[in-house]
């Protein structure tokens, strides 16, 4: 599956996903659509108004947009922290494993989980 995120600034989003999260651009369609990919996971970015109020409410409630199952979560946490990614939930132990959350510039929330 590949989620599609509405973004307010396509160039800013592409820069964030490639420079901070380590994705690569798979394709671009004109000036309003792109796909980025990392480790077999893809995200589609569509230039539209994502509705800032709605996105801020989602961030406050930690309403997740996507959950990635990962290995070596500590390494990924350090990588993203060093790259200046906004960590909205620090690395923590939960009954099902370890997790942390980040937000992109449009306030989409990603969870990274390493199960027990």
Query: Which pLDDT band holds residue 52 (cuts at 50, 70, 90)?
Result: low
d(CA 90, CA 70): 16
The rounded distance, in Å, linking the Cα atoms of 105 and 107 is 5
**What's residue 63's pLDDT?**
83
pLDDT digits 0-9 by tens, 36-48: 999 999 999 999 8
Domain residues of the chain, as ranges? Answer: 4-115
Q: Which two tokens stand for residue 33?
A: 């659509």
4-115 is classed CATH 3.10.180.10 = yes
φ, ψ dihedrals at 5, nearest 5°? -110, 135
Decide if pLDDT at 28 tops 90.
yes
């Amino acid at each position: 599956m590949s989620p599609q995120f509405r973004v307010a600034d396509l160039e800013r989003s592409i820069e964030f996903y490639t420079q901070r999260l380590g994705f690569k651009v798979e394709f671009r369609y004109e000036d309003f659509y792109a796909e980025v990919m990392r480790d077999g996971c893809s995200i589609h970015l569509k230039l539209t108004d994502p509705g800032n109020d709605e996105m801020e409410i989602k961030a406050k409630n930690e309403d997740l947009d996507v959950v990635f199952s990962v290995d070596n979560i500590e390494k990924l946490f350090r990588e993203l922290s060093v790259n200046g990614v906004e960590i909205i939930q620090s690395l923590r132990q939960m009954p099902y494993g370890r997790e942390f959350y980040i937000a992109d510039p449009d306030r989409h929330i990603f969870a990274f989980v390493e199960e027990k």
